[in-house]
Amino acid sequence: MKKKIIRILSFVFQFIDTLLCITHIKRPKVIVYVDGGICSQMLRFLDGQYYFGHGFDVQYDIFWFQNYGRDQYGKMLRIFELNEMWPQLTFKTLSYWQRKFYLIFFKAKRTNKDWLPYPSEVNHSIYLNDYWDIPGEDYVKLFALHFNINNATVPVKYTNFIAEGFIGVHVRRGDLAKGDNPYYGGVTDGYFVRAIEFCNQQFTPKKYVFFSDEPDWVENNICNQLEKPYEIMRNNKAWEDLWLLAQCPIIIASQGSFGKVAARLNPQSILIQCDNKYAWRERENTYFIQ
């Protein structure tokens, strides 16, 4: 009975909202659910800007960080850091009751798999929960427009950081350490060793810099096999690590988006990826390791 009532009310509210929008009394509202680490926050911000550029009223739901703010196992902390790294970004959030209303009655339906609904097909307000994909060309343009590493905050303790000859290695562990995640895939422990061996053969690394949510694991399972100097970053905020990784001329990416986003922030960088179905293959200066 409850579900039936919600379906009826959803139809009524969406019908009224559609009338108000097509008569230009109000603009359609797009609410974007935001969760996860700094890269997820960046990508969800772009989801909203995709619609903002088409004249929609856009708001962001960041209540996840207040109510939960951890990985799927409840261990690794996730903090809303978007404005720490990109203070020039402006966006509107919504109230608790607004969130409740739109989440219940205006949740967007997935009619085109994981792609965002086309703006021309949206004639009333929608709530975008979970993860969606922006069409490729639009994504590249939006990313370049909003996320220029030269406009990012420079971590105070790394003001004089010079990454010449450094190879940045992101080792995602935590909730992605096991199995084949449906969004990001998985990599074996040996992938990092093979990627480092490849870099030693192809380039002249000066130092390896590691970024990981499990630095002790990296120390005991990867660094103990290294002949080159290395450093493991500890006690940084996620956005500080992303900024540092983006300074490196060569980036070894883990599963997840952290290393790949860092490489997009530094288009001149060389990107090393695991050769699986989740790899970003449209980028130049990329090598794939089994």
Q: Using CB atoms within 10 Å of the CB of residue 66, give its burial: 0 to 12 exposed, 13 to 18 middle, 19+ buried.
A: exposed
Task: Identify the weakest region by mean pLDDT among 8-22, 56-70, 268-282.
Answer: 268-282
- Indicate whether 153 pLDDT > 60: yes
pLDDT of the residue at 186: 66
* pLDDT exceeds 60 at position 267: yes
The whole-number pLDDT of residue 179 equals 58
Average pLDDT over residues 75-84: 84
Per-residue pLDDT band for 159 (boundaries 50, 70, 90) equals confident
Q: Helices in 135-267 by DSSP H: which ranges?
A: 136-146, 189-202, 215-221, 238-247, 258-265
Lowest mean pLDDT across 92-96, 220-224, 246-250: 220-224
Q: What is the mean pLDDT of the chain?
A: 87
**Predicted TM-score of the model (pTM):** 0.90
**Range 6-28 average pLDDT:** 91
Please tell me the distance from the alpha carbon of residue 251 to that of residue 262, in angstroms, as a whole number: 8
| Average pLDDT of the residues in 2-22 | 90
Task: State the average pLDDT over residues 7-26.
Answer: 91
**Residue 180 clears pLDDT 90, i.e. is over it:** no
| Tens-place pLDDT, residues 191-209 | 888 999 999 999 988 999 9
Least-confidence region, from 162-166, 184-188, 260-264: 184-188
d(CA 273, CA 192): 10
Assess whether pLDDT exceeds 80 at residue 178: no
The per-residue pLDDT for 45 is: 96
Q: Note the pLDDT of residue 70.
A: 67
Interval 261-286 mean pLDDT: 86
Measured between its terminal Cα atoms, the distance across the chain in Å is 52
